[in-house]
Amino acid sequence: MLPKELVDIFQEYTKDDFNLFITKLDYSTDNFIIDFSLDIQNINDKEAIIQEWTITANGHRKNILSFDFEEFIELKDGHPLLWEFNDLQCELYYSGQCMDAPKLFYDLYKTHKQVFGDSRCFNISFDESANYFKAFQFENGLLTKGSKKLMLKYADCLKQNGLDFTIINEEPTKYWNGKEFISEKDNLKILFFGKSYIIAEDFSFEKK
């Protein structure tokens, strides 16, 4: 949960009323530390608010961050961006003859956008160097790798385009704990800072 003070501010004010932005990132300790500023000008005779906060990401796994002005902060424990860590990882193979490769590519891209929005790049190429999209000149091959939940969504696109699929090499995600690779924990959370995000085991907030 976000601190109540922040929740109350975001409920009372709209995104046009405040400036919200990251001021500092610190990777120097075992935990990942993010400083941010929240600046609300005098509105309707309300007193201006200027706050500085520190977020500590315990058990940090991944981040995509910028110093742009953002519109919200939101903490979630269930989101497709977490599939990379808390879902089985596997390979998706196709078989059969594709009659309309551009349509299949569009269907895959649209599915990806529905799942991730703009938060994650689409990593299936559609060019002459990508054999599986060279008019599917081969009747079987590896399409892509990733979380099983995502692969099953891509598999639906294959089926809708007259292809069969196979999912193989399923294995749990592992991470390096400083000594060895161990199975990933299933309690990871994602903190959205507007378009940016941080994935970690837990988050704590401290007002300066």
Q: What is the pLDDT of residues 90-128, one digit of tens each?
A: 999 999 988 888 899 999 999 999 999 999 999 887 666
Q: Which residues contact 208 (CB under 8 A, 6 or more apart)?
A: 51, 52, 53, 54
- Strands in 140-147's sheet, in edge-to-edge order, are 140-147, 89-95, 164-171
Fold of the domain spanning 88-171: Alpha-Beta Plaits (3.30.70)
pLDDT of 197 over the 80 cut:
yes
Which is more confidently placed, 135 or 177? 177
Task: Using the predicted structure, report yes or no on whether residue 135 has a pLDDT greater than 60.
Answer: no
Q: Among 32-46, 73-87, 113-127, 131-145, name the one with the lowest average pLDDT.
A: 131-145
- Looking at the DSSP bridge assignments, the partners of residue 196 are 193
Closest CA to 18 of 52, 1, 42: 42
CB contact set of 124 (below 8 Å; sequence gap of 6+): 105, 108, 109, 112, 130, 133, 143, 144
Count other C-beta atoms under 10 Å from residue 112's C-beta. Answer: 20
As a whole-number percent, the residues of the chain with pLDDT over 70 amount to 92
Query: What is the average pLDDT score of the chain?
Result: 90
Specify the pLDDT at position 133.
62
CA 131 – CA 127 distance, rounded (Å): 8
Residue 141 pLDDT:
87
pLDDT above 80: residue 57 = yes
Residue type for 186, please? D
Dist. CA 28–CA 31, nearest whole Å: 8
Q: DSSP assignment, residue 185?
A: P
**Banded model confidence at residue 132, pLDDT cuts 50, 70, 90:** low
What's the CA gap between 97 and 85, in Å, rounded? 33
Among the listed ranges 77-81, 106-110, 129-133, which one has the minimum average pLDDT value? 129-133
pLDDT tens per residue across span 2-53: 999 999 988 888 888 889 999 999 988 878 999 999 998 766 667 788 899 9
Q: Which residues contact 46 (CB under 8 A, 6 or more apart)?
A: none
Split at pLDDT 50, 70, 90, the class of 150 is very high
Domain boundaries, the chain: 4-78+188-207, 88-171
Token couple for 33? 């530390």
pLDDT at position 136: 66
Percent of the chain surpassing pLDDT 90: 68
| Higher-scoring residue by pLDDT: 47, 65 | 65
